[in-house]
């Protein structure tokens, strides 16, 4: 029944199918959602399925699953495939450790700690720093918020909060801040959304003004979530200026670098996170800019005491040997925890820190290709800014929502839309470091050809009329 060797043969065969599909159909055959259960046999049945049928249904699933590693996928803040990271993740699945104790994870503990140690060194956190691998960027934000809460109100953990705690983030920050405020017992109404400037960065003076007002009102400013790479525009909040304020008022500063925090690896772009060493915590997603498989999120904490204070719990049945430094469950949210570190380690080990830098720089190079193209073509309006890998634009007044949907439904290319200060636009993300200049130019080519063949695509002016 269960034989890993023969299943790995099948696995290789299926991967061949996938790679062939990616070449032949870079945008997968799309099944309309309401036809899904008729199109593929996804049913689970009483009886076993014979091998050939089993293989056939797996192929069906692969063929129609959206292809995120191809040169026509620009929809999300991830894409492409770093094969050395895939190798590590496949090994992690087969090894199937849980990261909570040295007893069951062995050297995998050292692998995780080495990534954390190197990352802390790179950003200038000192000898008291440490970190962990949460389930993603949203969870990293959550862990940071809980640490900030506990640092401000030491009874919050045991008795619940004694006063309303106030937290701050920019209007452009990730939506997990909203959910996390409710999960952490802070309350969504206690978030202050600070205005951003014309290029999407939090305005420090507006932050300070709000902090002062809250103090006057007898409230407790507790936590600032700043962003290194906002989800839509890829903007970087000015960390040094924000740190001046958080230090002055004793507020926890978290830098959410889920999207673009990996600029720490680039000599050319790390200036975008100047002041990062002054933060209390910082998170980044290796599954975004660095191209590892999902999910691979790292949170670093300037003083590991906070990680212990907020997340450790004694459990005699679990922590029986080896001491706290090797029993990583003492600083994680989960109990059983998947090994997300190995895939990042195999990538980093094989390409070196210089290789990670190249991966990051390539994305900015591709962004510049797109920016140059848009700027030299009067049919385009540009809405994003330099030093961002989110290229936001509109083409010939075509309604971006209609355009992106039509491109997807017609299997031309997969790209999304976004909005900033009320303006909606197409958002092209150049995060796939496997791409080259030709792939970016090809995106514009296929989009323009599609638009030319479909002159009836809704125009922006019409869209406004319809809404009014």
Ligand X SMILES: *Cc1c(COP(=O)(O)O)cnc(C)c1O
Piece in contact with ligand X (CB under 6 A), picked from 29-37, 94-102, 205-213, 251-259? 251-259
Options 123-131, 186-194, 223-231, 313-321: segment touching ligand X (CB under 6 A): 223-231
Distant-in-sequence, close-in-space partners of 317: CB < 8 Å, separation ≥ 6: none
Binds ligand X (CB under 6 A): choice among 82, 129, 180, 295: 295
Angle at 182 (CA atoms; ends 177, 183), nearest 5 degrees: 95
Q: By C-beta, is 230 or 327 nearer to ligand X?
A: 230
Mapping DSSP to helix (H, G, I), strand (E, B) and coil, where does residue 316 land? coil
Q: How large is the angle between the packed helices 239-249 and 204-216, nearest 10 degrees?
A: 20
How far apart are alpha carbons 252 and 147 in whole angstroms?
8
When the beta carbons of 208 and 256 are compared against ligand X, the nearer one is 256
From the list 134-142, 148-156, 369-377, 388-396, the region that binds ligand X by CB under 6 A is 134-142
The minimum distance between CB 81 and ligand X, in angstroms, equals: 18
* Nearest CA-CA partner of 331 in 311, 304, 315, 309: 311
Burial of 112 (0-12, 13-18, 19+ CB in 10 A): buried
CB 385 within 8 A of CB 425: no
- Per CB under 6 A, contacts with ligand X among 176-215 are 176
The SS3 call for residue 392 is strand
- Closest CB to ligand X among residues 161, 290: 290
In angstroms, the CA 435 to CA 439 distance is 6
Nearer to ligand X by Cβ, of 101 and 227: the residue is 227
- Please report whether residue 297 would count as binding ligand X according to CB under 6 A: yes
Mark the segment that binds ligand X (CB under 6 A) among 19-27, 256-264, 389-397, 437-445: 256-264
* DSSP alpha helix (H) spans, 312-436: 341-375, 400-409
Q: How far apart are CA 166 and CA 197, in angstroms?
A: 22
Q: Are 174 and 136 in contact (CB under 8 A)?
A: no
Sheet harboring 130-132: ordered strands across?
Answer: 130-132, 297-301, 281-285, 252-257, 220-227, 165-170, 191-194
Selected from 256, 280, 387, 399, the binder of ligand X by CB under 6 A is: 256
Give me 104's structure tokens.
């069951």
**196 pairs with which residues across the strands?**
202
- Closer of 132 and 295 to ligand X (Cβ): 295
According to the binding rule CB under 6 A, does residue 174 interact with ligand X? yes
| Residue 136 binding ligand X, by CB under 6 A | yes
Counting contacts by CB under 6 A, is residue 237 touching ligand X?
no
285 near ligand X, rule: CB under 6 A: yes
Q: How many of the chain's residues bind ligand X (CB under 6 A)?
A: 15
What's the half-sphere exposure (Cβ side, CA atoms, 13 Å) at 39?
14
Smallest gap from residue 239 Cβ to ligand X (A)? 14
Burial class, 452, CB count within 10 angstroms (exposed 0-12 / middle 13-18 / buried 19+): exposed
Contact stretch for ligand X (CB under 6 A) within 48-56, 190-198, 225-233, 247-255: 225-233
Under rule CB under 6 A, residue 327 binds ligand X: no
Interface with ligand X by CB under 6 A: which range of 58-66, 252-260, 333-341, 447-455? 252-260
Smaller CB distance to ligand X: residue 231 or 435?
Answer: 231
Residues 6+ apart with CB under 8 A from 422: none
Helices in 97-170 by DSSP H: which ranges? 102-105, 107-123, 137-152, 156-159
Query: Judged by CB under 6 A, which stretch of 62-70, 136-144, 335-343, 346-354 contacts ligand X?
Result: 136-144
Q: In this complex, which beta carbon is closest to ligand X, that of residue 142 or of residue 348? A: 142
Single residue of 151, 258, 366, 440 touching ligand X by CB under 6 A = 258
**Does residue 365 interact with ligand X by CB under 6 A?**
no
Stretch that binds ligand X, among 224-232, 300-308, 376-384, 411-419 (CB under 6 A): 224-232
Token code pair at residue 278: 């002054």
Binding of ligand X by 84 (CB under 6 A): no
**Residues 63, 77, 242, 407: which binds ligand X (CB under 6 A)?**
77
- From the list 79, 225, 64, the residue with the least C-alpha distance to 145 is 225
What token pair was written down for 396?
């010939």
Crossing angle of helices 437-453 and 400-409, rounded to 10°: 100
Q: How far is the CB of 230 from ligand X (least distance, A)?
A: 6
Q: How far is the CB of 204 from ligand X (least distance, A)?
A: 19
Q: Does residue 231 touch ligand X according to CB under 6 A?
A: yes
Q: Indicate whether 138 belongs to the interface with ligand X (CB under 6 A).
A: yes
**Among residue numbers 140 through 159, which ones bind ligand X (CB under 6 A)?**
none
SS3 109: helix
Residues of the shown chain interacting with ligand X in the complex, contacts defined by CB under 6 A:
77, 136-138, 174, 176, 227, 229, 231, 256, 258-259, 285, 295, 297
């Amino acid at each position: 029944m269960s034989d890993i060797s023969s299943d790995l043969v099948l696995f290789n065969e299926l991967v061949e199918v996938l790679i062939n599909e990616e070449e032949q159909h870079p945008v997968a055959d799309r099944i309309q959602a309401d036809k899904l259960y008729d199109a593929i046999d996804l049913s689970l049945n009483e009886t076993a399925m014979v091998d050939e049928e089993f293989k056939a249904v797996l192929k069906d699933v692969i063929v129609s699953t959206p292809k995120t590693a191809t040169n026509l996928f620009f929809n999300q803040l991830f894409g492409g495939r770093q094969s050395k990271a895939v190798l590590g993740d496949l090994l992690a699945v087969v090894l199937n450790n849980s990261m909570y104790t040295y007893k069951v994870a062995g050297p995998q503990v050292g692998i995780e700690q080495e990534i954390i140690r190197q990352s802390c060194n790179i950003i200038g956190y000192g000898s008291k720093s440490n970190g962990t691998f949460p389930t993603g960027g949203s969870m990293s934000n959550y862990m940071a918020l809980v640490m900030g809460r506990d640092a401000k109100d030491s009874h919050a953990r045991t008795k619940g909060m004694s006063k309303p705690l106030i937290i701050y983030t920019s209007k452009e920050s990730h939506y997990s801040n909203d959910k996390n405020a409710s999960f952490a017992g802070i309350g969504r109404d206690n978030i202050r959304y600070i205005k951003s400037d014309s290029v999407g960065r939090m305005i420090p003076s507006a932050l300070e003004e709000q902090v002062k007002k809250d103090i006057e009102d007898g409230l407790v400013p507790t936590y600032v979530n700043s962003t290194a790479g906002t989800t839509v525009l890829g903007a970087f909040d000015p960390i040094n200026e924000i740190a001046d304020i958080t230090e002055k008022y004793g507020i926890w500063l978290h830098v959410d670098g889920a999207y673009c925090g990996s600029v720490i690896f680039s000599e050319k772009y790390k200036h975008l996170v100047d002041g990062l060493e002054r933060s209390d915590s910082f998170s980044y997603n290796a599954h975004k800019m660095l191209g590892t498989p999902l999910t691979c999120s790292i949170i670093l904490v300037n003083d590991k005491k906070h990680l212990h204070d907020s997340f450790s719990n004694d459990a005699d049945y679990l922590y029986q040997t080896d001491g706290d430094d090797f029993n990583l469950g003492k600083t994680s949210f989960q109990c059983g925890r998947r090994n997300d570190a190995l895939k990042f380690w195999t990538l980093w080990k094989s390409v070196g820190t210089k290789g990670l830098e190249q991966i990051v720089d390539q994305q900015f190079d591709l962004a510049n290709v797109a920016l140059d193209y848009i700027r030299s073509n009067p049919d385009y309006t540009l809405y994003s800014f330099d030093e961002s890998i989110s290229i936001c634009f509109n083409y010939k007044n075509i309604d971006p929502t209609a355009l992106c949907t039509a491109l997807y439904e017609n299997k031309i290319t997969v790209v999304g839309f976004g909005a900033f200060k009320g303006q909606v636009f197409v958002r092209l993300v150049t995060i796939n470091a496997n791409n080259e200049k030709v792939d970016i130019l090809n995106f514009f080519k296929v989009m323009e050809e599609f638009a030319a063949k479909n002159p009836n695509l809704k125009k922006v002016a019409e869209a406004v009329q319809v809404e009014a």
